[in-house]
């Protein structure tokens, strides 16, 4: 039994929805960063799956490469912000982030 494009896109949709809900519900910055990574990886699944069913066009793999590069940069910058915030407030809860204005 071969898996079709619809199954891959359904998986990508479920992964993206899980990441979006996790980002909105959780208050821990590290968990939110992992949810963003989950959403970016779900986009990669959709791009590569689409590319698999249209083999003459490699645009899906090229865009997937750029998404991976953006995800790596986001992780580096995001972790740097989390570390700086932790050093300042001794917590990684996003409820404390509004106190940075003072």
- Whether 96 maps to a domain, the answer reads no
How far, in Å, CA of 93 to CA of 96, rounded?
6
Give yes or no for residue 99 having a pLDDT over 80. no
> Could you tell me the CATH number of the domain that includes residue 26?
1.10.287.3510
Strands (E), 5-73: none
- Domain of 76, in residue numbers: 5-90
Residues 6 or more apart in contact with residue 59 via CB below 8 angstroms: 51
Exposure of 80 by Cβ count < 10 A (0-12 exposed, 13-18 middle, 19+ buried)? exposed
- Whether 102 maps to a domain, the answer reads no
Question: Tokens 């090229």 sit at which residue?
Answer: 62
**What is the number of domains present in the chain?**
1
Give yes or no for residue 98 having a pLDDT over 80. no
pLDDT digits (tens, 9 = 90+) for 20-63: 999 999 999 999 999 999 999 999 999 999 998 888 888 889 99
Tokens of 48: 């590569």
pLDDT, residue 19, reads 97
**Averaged confidence pLDDT in the chain:** 90
CB contact at 8 A, 30 and 82 = yes
Give yes or no for residue 101 having a pLDDT over 90. no
């Amino acid at each position: 039994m071969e898996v079709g494009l619809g199954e891959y896109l359904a998986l990508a949709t479920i992964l993206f929805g899980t990441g979006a809900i996790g980002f909105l519900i959780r208050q821990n910055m590290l968990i939110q960063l992992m949810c963003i990574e989950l959403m970016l990886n779900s986009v990669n699944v959709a791009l590569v799956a689409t590319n698999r069913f249209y083999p003459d066009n490699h645009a899906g793999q090229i865009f997937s490469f750029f998404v991976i590069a953006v995800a790596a940069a986001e992780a580096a910058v995001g972790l740097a912000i989390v570390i700086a915030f932790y050093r300042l407030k001794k917590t990684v809860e996003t409820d404390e982030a509004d106190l940075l204005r003072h």
